[in-house]
Amino acid sequence: MNLHFSEDFAGWPPEQTVFPIAGLDLRVLAGDHPFYVAEREAIRENWEKETAANPALFDGRMVFQKRLALTDTGLVAEGHLIPFSTFMWWRRQLNRNGGIHLFAYPVLESSDSALVAIRMGSHTANPGQVYFAAGSLEPEDISGGRCDVEENMRREVREETGLDLNEAEAGDRYYASHVRRTVTVLRLFRFDLTAEEMIEKIEAHMLVADDKEIAGVVAIRSADPKVHPYNIAMLPVIDWYFGEKHGS
């Protein structure tokens, strides 16, 4: 396959729209990401400032994409493992050149057609923001040199909410959206529980969770962007779910 890896997302659907994709092939390469190599000193200096402001931050490893192509078989990417501090510096850049952040949203749907999301704690990298239980692709999500997005979604949902995606009905395909060189991969997971029942289960898990990242749980019942302090990646998802998908 002759891939056209995108540097500027030319030929992609517009930013902040949700579109179907056929699949995922996210390769993880050996060695250091070029952005990390080029920006190492600036990354270190910024991390000192970040941790001075929020000592709870942890410099774990995550997958950061170097190249990305949208093809008839889906998203094909090549990335490297980087320290989290590298991502924190990259996301402060105005144009965010040098890499692409790709992560997965398991879109949790209740039996009464609400979406269930979490509100992040004050000590996290996105304090107070509301979005689906999710996290960056990490070393434990890599199998055979490729990212296992399904495993990432199962792990993040289990750790943050206590819910088991194996007990939900998975949507039959992936979707994606992008904004400011961040790509969100989506899949619907419908639980045979009302939103209130899902919230009760998550709140019970919050009491015993090892990592207290979550400050609360919300049920989303409209595409109104002002109801909650949403992460920017949430806005096209709620527009799609309550608008285009449900024909409202």
The structure tokens 């600036």 sit at 42
Residue 121 has pLDDT above 90, yes or no: no
Residue 171 has pLDDT above 60, yes or no: yes
Q: How confident is residue 5, by pLDDT bands cut at 50, 70 and 90?
A: low
Residue 36 has pLDDT above 50, yes or no: yes
| Average pLDDT of the chain, as a whole number | 93
pTM value? Answer: 0.93
Q: How far is CA 204 from CA 75, 163, 196, 215, in A?
A: 37, 11, 12, 12
Rounded CA gap, 13 and 69, in Å? 13
Task: Give the pLDDT confidence score for residue 212 in this predicted structure.
Answer: 74
Residue 247 has pLDDT above 90, yes or no: no
Residue 134 has pLDDT above 80, yes or no: yes
Mean pLDDT confidence for 169-180? 97
Q: Answer yes or no: are the C-beta atoms of 165 and 188 closer than 8 Å.
A: no
Q: How far is CA 81 from CA 43, 97, 136, 198, in A?
A: 15, 17, 11, 34
Residue 248 has pLDDT above 50, yes or no: no
Task: Give the pLDDT confidence score for residue 1 in this predicted structure.
Answer: 47
pLDDT digit string, tens, across residues 207-224: 998 777 888 999 999 999
